Amino acid sequence: MLSIGWFSTGRGEGSRGLLSFVQERLVETGADARIDFVFSNRERGEAEGSDAFFKLVDGYGIPLITHSSSAFRKAAGGRFSAHRDEFDRQVMEKLAGTGVDICVLAGYMLIVSGELCRKYPLLNLHPALPDGPTGTWQEVVWSLIETRAAKTGAMVHLATEEVDRGPVISYVTVPITGPGFDQLWESFQDQDLAGLKETEGENFPLFQAIRREQYLREPYLLFETLRAVSQGEVSVEGGQVLDTSGAPLSRSMPHGLCLDRQIAEAMS
């Protein structure tokens, strides 16, 4: 049984939806994996969104562990980045004894320290292809528009000190041209990107359409990745992603496992 730790700030609907999807699918499919704890960098009563997330966690009967980064920041003073290592040491103290096999960063709004990355194999869901843009999902979508990309997707990679660039475990692709997109791209022709960001922002129809295609697939990608790890199709050891022979996955699959077929079947 693969033991999973789940890291999330739990800010809003997206965090709740991702946890619900994976937890319920683990149960429905009888997967050889379970979520054994949820960790949040917010405390109960700190924010309405995270309180709703905590209620969901409680409903599933999953142990909840919390440590407020906001309270820590106030006590430490100065920039949080200067004290990140200390905060993560305190987190690790709270997690001592949990003994999970793998952890998932799912809406966890902090950059993790190198020490925490080395302590736990941390899987991060990033809304871009392995060779795609880095940054927040908003920055990714604007970058795709700026470069007039023909496809996008999402990936799960091993979190490292290099943000959004750790060893890739899996990915899913989706075209953003063709029916449903060509007319939206035409509406972007000859428009100033900076002006669009100011006037329409995330309400720009092309922006929304691209994000929708990513967002629909991200929960499936995370679940199918956990399923692949639980079945031994891929493993994470010593900061590396390994194939079934124990060799680095990057040798045979430079971009990780392509889960397009599995996700298409699951979504049909």
Q: How far apart are the first and last CA of the chain?
A: 28
Residue 68 to residues 39, 40, 73, 109, 119, Cα–Cα distance (Å): 10, 8, 9, 12, 20
The whole-number pLDDT of residue 191 equals 84
Domain with 126 in it: what CATH number? 3.40.50.170
What pLDDT score does 192 carry?
87
Of 44, 14, 11, which is closest to residue 214 (Cα–Cα)? 14
Q: Give residue 238's pLDDT.
A: 83
The pLDDT score that the predictor gives to residue 135 is: 87
Cβ 154 vs Cβ 214: under 8 Å? yes
From 213, 87, 109, 91, select the one nearest 163 (Cα to Cα).
109
In the three-class reduction of DSSP (H, G, I as helix; E, B as strand; rest coil), residue 131 is classed as coil
C-beta of residue 10 within 8 angstroms of C-beta of residue 107: yes
Minimal CA–CA distance to 186: which of 205, 203, 212? 205
> 10-residue block means of pLDDT along the chain (268 residues)?
95 92 94 95 95 97 96 90 93 92 93 90 93 90 95 93 78 95 90 89 94 94 95 89 89 90 94
List beta partners, residue 40. Answer: 66
User: What's the total number of domains in the chain?
Assistant: 1
Range of the domain at 164: 2-267
